[in-house]
Amino acid sequence: MRVLITGGAGFIGSHVVAACREAGHEVRVLDALLPAVHPPYPDGPPGTEGVDVVVGDVRDADTVERCLDGVDAVCHQAAMVGLGIDVQDMPSYAGINDLGTAVLLAGMARAQVSRLVLASSMVVYGEGRYECPEHGVVPAAPRRRADLDAGRFEPPCPVCGAPLAWGEVGEDTPLDPRNTYAATKLAQEHLSAAWARSTGGGAVALRYHNVYGPHMPRDTFYAGVASIFRSALEAGRAPSVYEDGGQMRDFVHATDVARANLLALEADPPDAALRAYNIASGVPHTVGDMARALADAFGGPDPQVTGEYRIGDVRHVVASPARAGTELGHTAQVAFADGMREFATAPLRPAP
């Protein structure tokens, strides 16, 4: 199979490139090498040696058309990621993530490429699943600055105000994006589903949870929390843990995410216009647990819980990977403790 991997020079994309090549597939990479996350590469992007790399923007129709020539499937990793800095990032997120996806899908229709694997995210769920002892499963009440300023981080029941218990989110849960990045990832899913319905193609959306691993970008507003903590440790600083550190997440290794992409590419096309899968380890941990595990493996300094918050964050989001296991045969292989020990000393990408 010849696979076009957009964003294939990025952190996750480069792991997907490696997985596809090891499986014997021919790979072409399209990557804009945006300076916000990529430094100059005198010898080419790492992890793409021997690969046909096209440096260009997924929003450029002519570049996309050239990259799709002779391609059997597309693995769409290119995106602006993370919460960013503030709402002034909105045009960049919408342009790169949503316009870029639309241009790619239109090009795929013209080139009659009918297989798409989309890198989506758990952020499309917003807050996770919550249950009230009295009112059963309920949506979490919107977070209020007054509560967060007072250190009240747990969302209450919107009916009675009682504490809620968190649970696992399934792929059929109503989606509720809570920030700009989340809104653009959901729009990517909707665009992909519309393309599949119109063309008869098959689209799979892989909703990544908190991905970590070697070659994460260091010291950028657009990196995930694992990279931010790891960068702090390397600089001799204590990881700064927001809120009280009790935010529940699922940390999944980049090689497990790459293998999920490979399985999705090789699977039979879905019957539905778009089939979504949670890509997670299935073993959740708190953000504080992760900071502590990294600091212990690195040799300190100890994490500092700051009580600070970002209004666009969510408290708990943990999803079940059962559908991916049943339908794709995907089960995470890297245990949390092993992955954190490796990541504590693994190389990071240079700061741009």
Rounded average pLDDT per 10-residue block, the chain, 352 residues: 96 96 97 85 82 96 98 96 78 95 98 98 92 94 90 94 93 90 96 97 97 84 80 94 96 98 95 94 96 96 95 88 97 97 89 64
Its pTM stands at 0.94
- What is the dihedral sign for C-alpha 237, 242, 247, 252? negative
Sequence-ordered list of residues with C-beta below 8 angstroms from that of 52, at least 6 positions apart, any chain: 27, 28, 29
Q: What angle do CA 127, 131, 134 make, to 5 degrees?
A: 140
- Amino acid 134: pLDDT: 96
- Amino acid 197: pLDDT: 97
Instruction: State the Cα–Cα distance between residues 25 and 151, nearest whole angstrom.
Output: 51
- Amino acid 34: pLDDT: 85
Domains of the chain: 2-128+169-344 (3.40.50.720)
Written as six digits, the tokens of 246 are 């009790």
Burial-class residue 267 by CB neighbours within 10 Å (0-12, 13-18, 19+).
Answer: middle
- Amino acid 312: pLDDT: 74
Written as six digits, the tokens of 335 are 């245990």
Other CB atoms closer than 10 Å to residue 34's CB: what's the count?
16
- Amino acid 103: pLDDT: 98
Sequence-ordered list of residues with C-beta below 8 angstroms from that of 225, at least 6 positions apart, any chain: 210, 287, 290
- Amino acid 40: pLDDT: 84
